[in-house]
Structures are given as structure tokens and as C-alpha cells.
A = this chain, B = another copy of it.
């Protein structure tokens, strides 16, 4: 069976030449785009930047996918893994007309083509990798490793979507990419779409060969069939042969995918037999059709074609000639008319409007976004008669709310939880009353809430959870990523890239808002009772806080009701990265739902039932952010008021961390007036913070007398110990806070020494209590008393 007639092969080849021509043009030219005159030095950009090596392969795949769309009407999302593949992808979106529709000044004529070339990798222009600017893309091509996981996230609950995911052999060496192959163990052909991985082995990274490219074919086949794929190899360096092979293979794998889906969608019951999904390994030369060599040194097929294969073209007439020959080898005069428009025969190869990959609505997920149906969160409120009198696990309560979200959106199938095997551990197991963990490999009787239709995606890989969720959100759905706080830093760099994507998307009016990326960080630094030091790390806050302020928000609800209110807010929001940090252990509950809502609305508030300043000027402000810091601060305030009845104490709880920021730096930042109404402008502030103290020092910089803020937080003292010992080790205990307060407040001199004695005695008692556990094992004991400094 041959998918192409000879004539069609030639047309496809011509289209490929056009795309290749445009890719080279973007790298080299600032004028004379159609080569209507001989190439002169002044037509060449002053600085040559961009990546040629991967481009011809990406173009080849693109035109063949177009052919497949024309023949089948498939909805295909092109996920471009190779880092700097923009010359190819942009070329294709330009050929399709979408680029001009979005950016009208890049017209489909010589003038527009010149602009297309000039803007590429040029100051103020577009980057040399795919980005939010690129129509049809949901994937930033800068940091490598996430193409396949994005593709899998995109097809979940999108049964009519086929994500063709091109993976460069460089990217294929990264851990996250290698970890993504097993995603197919979570894809249900009945209700999910399909991913077609196309591993493009062109042999080299920047300088060295890739491991996969040097494997013998039998090992490649063995590796990927082990992962569960049916491997199809397309290999060659003769374009006409490769066109034939590629078309035939694409037809075949497409039929295979349709057959898998048909079988699953027409059968009853849930089949958990392993399904072997097709994938393509495409082996073509790096920099294919580019310069073969330069003075005897090979370029095509080697790492030397990775970026700009011929440099110094402007200065060297011989190289200029070679570039011209190279560009003319695509015979642009046969591809574009003399005004620069693609000839009609090639326009015919473009899929009809609505089907072009560059305008696929899935790649602009906001277009498809259905609002998440949310129950009234107030229904789940814990009844609070008096603050601090009942204990509850805040996340367990949230689980009931999440359960009802699954119920309400069951029909829409647009909400999932992504979590590294910790849903139960994080006390969210109420959701298992209405859904299960997704698993497509063998399921056996003793498995716990496991099914082929589950909407809880548990895999022991933070990278997969993050990447799947990103792909799921960017194609217009909703999700939540609950994670152990320490281990979410595994995806520090991913969230940084995602925040960049969101910032850039927001600047592009044609990109429609998508649901926010929501983290629920629990099992946090202060309550790692048995896990110890390796599990204690609040650094994710620091990563997120530095991102563009309009994009990120960080919430530290102190109890169950405020957690509900915050989460409702986050799940309704769009185009944000929301980080919510809340404990899973039993903890004192403080706020009624009304109070919780008020705190969430304001971001930070005085807790009048703790302090005694009664709206007057306090002598000291006891501030806190986070559940454990809140507990210690309330206790410290009580201690202070009991010992120093004349001392005016105010407690301020900060739930929305960015509310501390000046308004100029964050949209949630509070005004100077509100800031001083909470913290005064002169009183000492003792601030107990969930994370590292640096952030608070920064956030109050520029506020009145920032030196009066004395911040306590995690100082990397941790071990396997009691929750209270943790706050002692890190000098954030009630006693440390209270001692700090009396030292900072003037006019208490008489009583102070006795109070310090009292606090220190309490700490020594605590020390003895801890030592009691171990009798006398000085060699093993980490514990040391932090003293009162």
C-alpha cells in the first residue's frame, strides 16, 4: 500500500522545500527574501542566530501530518520537542496563513516574508524556540524534557485529539522525558485521545552524539516495545524514499490508533490488558538538505549543523555563494509566485480552515474552557463555636469538597487530580467515594480504588504530575496538584517555565485564559514527624515568589475553613499559578466560615479575639503566616498577655503572602494605609513564618521602618522529632517568639528577666523531655537547644 501517488509525493516534497526555505531564510536573511536578486552581504543579518539542524526533520513531519489531516480529518496537535525548532514550526504556521491572521503585519507576500525573516531571533522579535507566540503550540521549547508529558496531558479526556509529539534525541536523554514514556499506562483509549510519539534520531546534541542514536536498531526496538510501544522505523537520507515511507507509516499507525480506539469504544466492560500503542522512530540526517561540507569538513549529518551551519556569510563571498546555492536548491521560484505567495498547488496541501494545526483550538485551550462547576464551599464549613477549641485535619475536610467537584463535573470530564501516590496520605481520600486511581496495566482484586476510568492520576513522579497537568490545563481543562511540600521542588524549573508561558500568553490577546495551575502543598516542613530532615523543605515558596508577580499567588490558610475558601477562589481563577500550603495533621481550628472568607478577601487581618489592643495602638504586633506559625503565635500572644497585663498585643494573620508586597510589585499588595493599619508604623513586629525568613524581609523592604520586623522561620534545623521540637529547633516556638517580643518592646524592664527565665526554663524542660526518649545517647542525638539568640 502506498499512501502517495507520484504526483502527490512531488507536491509534498515541494511543500517541504518551501518550509525548509523559510527556515533557512529566518536564520540568515534580512532582505531579498525571495532571492529575486543575487544575494549580497547586506541581505544577511548582522548576527546569525538560530538552529538549522532539527528544522528539516520538523518540516518533514509537519507536511506529512498535513497530508494525514487532509486524508482523514484528524485533529492533530503538533508538540515540538526539539528545543530550537521555531524556524520550522513558524515557517509552517506562516505557510498555513494562521501566522498572518494573528500577526497581520507578517503578510503572505515578499514584504511579510522579509518581516518574518527579520523578526526571528532578533532583538524584540521572537525566540528561536517555540513559545506562546507560536500558534498551534502548547509547549515552550526552551528547557528540554517535557514534550511527551505535555502531549499525554493534552489528550487526557480529549478522545478526538491526536497529539503528534516530536521528541529530539537530545531531549530524549533527559530524566523527565525518559520517565514520560510510561504515560501510556494511564491512557484509556475509550475516553482519552492518543499520543503518537515520533522520536527523531538525527544523531547529535550541540556537540556530542546522543545515546539513543548510537543504539543498534534491535536495542531501540527492544527498549520501546518494553515500554509498551509498537515501533515503526522510518529511516533514510533520500527525500523521495523517506516521503514514501513516512506517508505509508503514518497511514498505518493512524489506522492502528483508530482500531485501538474503536475496539475500546465499542466494547463493554473495562479491558485492562496492556495495549501496544504505535510510535515512530524517524532517523534522518541532522541538517538534512543543508550544506554538505565546508572545506572538506562534513556539516550535513553532523553536530556542525546544529545551529548556523555556515557562519561568517556576510564577510566571506565564498560562503555567501554557498548559502545562495543552498537556498536556491529549494527552487523558491517554483514555490512562491513573484509576489511571495505560495503557489496554489501547494496551498491545496494545507488542511482546510478549522483543521490547520496552527489554529487547533486545543492548542489555545481557553477557547474550549468550560467553567468548573463548584459546590458551595460554605456547605463544608467546620462549625467553630470558639477559636482554638477543636482539632481537625484541614485537608481531610477539603477532600469532601473535592469529592463533590468530581461529582458535579462528572459529565464534563474536565477535572483531574494529579498526585504522586499521596492522595490518601494527604487525607484527600474522600474523593475515592466517587472516583478511582487511573491505571491501565493489570488490576488485581486487592488493589485499592484502581480503575481504567479513575480521575486521580497517581504516579511516583512529580515531573509527570506537573507535566500532565500543564498539558491538561493548556488544552482547556481544570486540575489540582496535591504534593508533599519538600518534594514539589523537584518541579521548580517546570513551574518557572510555566509561569513564563502564562506571562507571555497574557501579553497575546489571541491566547485565551486557561484555568490556573493549582498546587496544594501539604505534609509540610513543620509536620514531618517521622520522616525527618530530608522531608523538610519550604523552598517552593521562594521559587514561585520570584516569578512575574501578576502571575503567582501564595496562600497559607491557617485552618480548615480558610483552606476551603482559598481553594474555591483558586479553582475559579484563570491564568495564575496558585500555591496553597496547608497541614494534613490534626490541628487547632480558628475561624468560622465568615471569618475565613473575610481573611481571604483581605489577605491579612487582625485576629481581635487574641490580642488586647482593642483597636488602639499595640506595643507589639505578633504576626504569623502558616498554620504552625499561627499556633505558636497565638500561644506566644497569650503568654505575653498573661505575664504583662499592661502590654498591648495585636495578632495579625497573613493568609495571602503577596498581600504584604507593595502594591507596585504585586496586584494583591496592600496599600501603605492598610499596611500600617495592621502593622502600625513603629511597633515592633514579631513575625513567625512558614518558610525561610528571607521572603518576609524582602516583602517588608520599603515599608515604614522595616528593621522592626523580626522574622522567625525554617532555618534548616530538622530531624525526626515532635512537632513542637521542630519549632524549638528552628527558634520559632511560642517561647522564642514571646522572648523576642519582650526584648523588642521597651518599658518592660522589671518583669522581663523573670519572663525570660520562665521561657528558658520551659525550653530546658522540653529539652529534658526530648532527651528522655533516648536516655543518654549523645553520639546520635541531633538535638541542640537553640538558646534565645
Contacts and interface: CB of A to CB of B under 8 A. Distances in A.
A394 interface: no
Nearest to A537: B496
A569 B716 CA distance: 26
A697 B707 contact: no
A119 B772 CA distance: 11
A103 B175 contact: no
Interface stretch (A60-68, A259-267, A594-602, A774-782): A774-782
A532 B131 contact: yes
Contact of A543 (B124, B142, B486, B492): B492
A773 B118 contact: yes
Nearest to A454: B208
Contacts of A303: 448
Contact of A122 (B143, B421, B533, B773): B773
A179 interface: yes
Interface residues of A, number: 148
B780 A497 contact: no
Interface in A133-162: 133, 140-145
Contacts of A47: 529-530
Most buried by B among A119, A124, A209, A492: A124
A441 interface: yes
A228 interface: yes
A123 B770 contact: yes
B493 A490 contact: yes
Number of copies: 2
B124 A424 contact: no
Nearest to A701: B697
A279 to B, nearest CB: 13
Given A175-B176, A176-B175, A539-B546, A783 B142 contact: no
A208 B534 contact: no
Interface stretch (A459-467, A472-480, A616-624): A459-467
Contacts of A441: 209, 211, 214-215
Contacts of A179: 173-179
Contacts of A180: 175
Given A228-B219, A425-B207, A446-B298, A106 B530 contact: no
A664 B715 CA distance: 13
B698 A421 contact: no
Contacts of A545: 694
A423 interface: yes
Contact of A780 (B106, B694, B782): B106
B497 A722 contact: no
Nearest to A776: B105
A487 interface: yes
A73 interface: no
A49 interface: yes
A71 to B, nearest CB: 33
B500 A489 contact: no
A133 B780 contact: yes
A534 B142 contact: yes
B496 A121 contact: no
A536 to B, nearest CB: 8
A501 B260 CA distance: 49
B779 A103 contact: yes
B496 A773 contact: no
B175 A720 contact: no
Interface in A750-789: 770-771, 773-783, 789
A716 B503 contact: yes
Interface in A484-537: 486-487, 489-490, 492-493, 496-497, 499-500, 503-504, 507, 529-535, 537
Contact of A775 (B115, B142, B461, B496): B115
A41 interface: no
A122 B720 contact: yes
A173 B459 contact: yes
A185 interface: yes
Interface in A383-430: 421-425
A253 interface: no
Nearest to A720: B127
A226 interface: yes
17 contacts: A105-B777, A123-B725, A123-B774, A124-B721, A125-B720, A127-B532, A143-B486, A145-B175, A171-B460, A174-B460, A207-B424, A222-B225, A492-B492, A496-B537, A507-B782, A542-B543, A701-B709
Leading 8 A-B pairs by shortest Cβ distance = A142-B534, A223-B226, A175-B179, A127-B532, A49-B530, A222-B226, A214-B441, A694-B698
Given A123-B722, A207-B424, 9 more contacts: A124-B719, A124-B720, A209-B444, A215-B226, A492-B539, A500-B534, A539-B543, A542-B542, A542-B546
Interface of A: 47, 49-50, 102-106, 115, 118-119, 121-129, 131, 133, 140-145, 170-171, 173-182, 185, 205-211, 214-216, 219-228, 274, 298, 302-303, 421-425, 437, 439, 441-444, 446-448, 450, 458-464, 486-487, 489-490, 492-493, 496-497, 499-500, 503-504, 507, 529-535, 537, 539, 542-543, 545-548, 664, 692-695, 697-698, 701-702, 705-707, 709, 716, 719-722, 725, 770-771, 773-783, 789
